[in-house]
């Protein structure tokens, strides 16, 4: 049994003090002979005249768990305040829209080094047109099982798409993006399914030597709604296999954060996903697999694979303690484009490279049924979409 979960008391109470099994139960075979000196009883077990009747339940063994609160389950079906409920996946936020620098009148960047020509196509046609600042993949819900919660997350990206920008001489440097995401999730069908929504508030800023380039702009982003359902669930062990669908609608501006010096693609996307969670003692493993399908072939179709391994280094045996548990976690996110997969094809605004991100983080669970998660993300493949990402996630359960 995982640490921090109180064991149930023995079914028959304290073995040294419990009466013998079957004592005081009438109608199960011949009565045992009375002990020497014991008071005689009337036929049928009634007490002799002049003695008060025996209190109801006297002589019976105590009922199992009498007066004891039920122990929390070891997994999904237990008390939300139990330490094991801190299982959480950071995941990655929704991809940042394809950010393309608008052409500035009178500005002609010097030609960059020509990329290798594509088969059957002359290199003289591969002229730089734009920059694409893409973010990491999306993890649809951060939890494979259905829960009741409100959420807030913050993501900061530094040096977005810097390597590509430098190669094609885009007049922007050190693009930074800030994203606040507000959301909720509500369980359905006896907590076997849930529905949720998320809405981001985006901010972008950049440096530039040109006028009207690089201002800081902020705007609400695209709304995402999702539904998930447990195909198989073991609440006692904390294991689940779920599926669902996330739909992102173009409710925000076409340009990321409404920046006037950027343009991009802006279509509805459908993301079916499969989530899995397995627990074993203090260890837990979470996996999300999904495919992000835009409603236009102009945009890129992506496959996302998100893996998380966590371990509880601390669990508080006192259920009333302020700090309930601490669980470090490591994650791997593999983002693979199925089309538009030539990142240096400057004529393709949706050009995307395969990216592998590594996340190191920490989950802290509090008594008020909330989890604070903090982490750092580093891309390990190139061209790197950003230099580093800092993130924080706060879940409050109800």
Cβ atoms 336, 352 nearer than 8 A: no
Walk along the chain (398 residues) and give the pLDDT tens digit of each residue. Answer: 444 333 444 444 444 444 334 444 344 444 445 445 444 554 444 555 555 555 554 555 555 444 444 333 333 333 333 444 457 777 765 445 445 555 444 444 444 444 444 444 433 332 333 334 333 345 666 789 899 999 999 999 999 888 877 877 778 889 999 999 999 999 999 999 999 999 999 999 998 888 777 889 999 999 999 999 999 999 888 899 999 999 999 999 988 899 887 767 889 999 999 999 999 999 999 999 999 999 999 999 999 999 999 999 999 999 899 999 999 999 999 999 999 988 777 778 888 889 999 999 999 999 889 999 999 999 998 788 899 999 999 999 98
Whole-Å CA distances, 125 to 19, 114, 119, 230, 348: 93, 10, 13, 51, 12
Token pair 């900061």 is at which residue?
Answer: 156
pLDDT at 164: 77
DSSP E strands in the chain: the ranges are: 100-101, 149-158, 173-188, 193-207, 217-220, 223-234, 239-249, 262-263, 269-280, 283-294, 302-311, 314-315, 323-337, 355-366, 370-379, 388-397
Domain positions in the chain are 83-111+127-397
User: Where do the H-state alpha helices sit in 80-158?
Assistant: none
CB neighbours of residue 325 within 10 Å: 25
Token pair 């997350």 is at which residue?
Answer: 153
Distance, CA of 134 to CA of 250 (rounded, Å): 17
CB-neighbour burial class of residue 392 (10 A; exposed 0-12, middle 13-18, buried 19+):
middle
pLDDT at 46: 52
| CATH number 3.40.50.1100 given to 83-111+127-397 | no
Token code pair at residue 203 = 């901010």
Cβ atoms 4, 325 nearer than 8 A: yes
Cβ atoms 125, 304 nearer than 8 A: no
Distance, CA of 335 to CA of 359 (rounded, Å): 14
pLDDT at 322: 94
């Amino acid at each position: 049994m995982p640490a921090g979960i109180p064991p149930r008391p023995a079914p028959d109470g304290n073995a040294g003090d419990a009466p013998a099994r079957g004592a005081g139960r009438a109608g199960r075979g011949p009565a045992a002979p009375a002990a020497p000196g014991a008071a005689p009883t009337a036929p049928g077990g009634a007490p002799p005249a002049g003695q008060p009747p025996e209190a109801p339940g006297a002589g019976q063994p105590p009922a199992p768990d009498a007066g004891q609160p039920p122990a929390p389950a070891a997994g999904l079906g237990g008390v939300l305040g139990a330490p094991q409920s801190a299982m959480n996946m950071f995941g990655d936020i929704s991809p940042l829209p394809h950010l393309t620098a608008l052409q500035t009148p009178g500005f002609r960047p010097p030609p960059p080094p020509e990329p290798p020509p594509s088969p059957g196509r002359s290199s003289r046609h591969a002229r730089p047109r734009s920059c694409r600042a893409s973010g990491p993949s999306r993890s649809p819900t951060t939890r494979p099982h259905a829960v009741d919660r409100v959420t807030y997350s913050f993501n900061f990206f530094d040096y977005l798409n810097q390597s590509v920008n430098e190669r094609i001489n885009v007049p922007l440097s050190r693009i930074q993006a800030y994203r606040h995401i507000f959301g909720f999730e509500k369980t359905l069908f006896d907590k076997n399914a849930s529905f949720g929504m998320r809405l981001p508030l985006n901010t972008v800023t950049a440096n530039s030597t040109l006028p009207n380039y690089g201002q800081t702009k902020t705007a609400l982003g695209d709304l995402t709604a999702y539904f998930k359902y447990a195909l198989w669930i073991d609440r006692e062990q904390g294991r689940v296999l779920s599926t669902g669908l996330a739909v992102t609608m173009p409710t925000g501006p076409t340009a990321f954060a409404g920046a006037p010096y950027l343009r991009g693609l802006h279509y509805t996307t459908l993301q079916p996903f499969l989530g899995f969670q397995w627990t074993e003692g203090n260890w837990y493993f979470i996996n999300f697999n999904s495919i992000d399908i835009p409603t236009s072939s102009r945009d890129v179709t992506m496959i996302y694979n998100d893996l998380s391994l966590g371990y509880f280094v601390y669990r508080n045996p006192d259920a009333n303690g302020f700090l309930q548990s601490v669980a470090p976690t490591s994650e791997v996110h593999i983002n693979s484009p199925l089309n538009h997969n030539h990142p240096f094809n400057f004529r393709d605004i949706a050009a995307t490279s395969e990216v592998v991100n590594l996340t190191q983080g920490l989950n802290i669970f509090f008594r008020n049924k909330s989890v604070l998660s903090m982490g750092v993300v580093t891309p390990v493949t190139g061209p790197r979409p950003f230099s580093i990402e800092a993130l924080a996630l706060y879940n409050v359960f109800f």
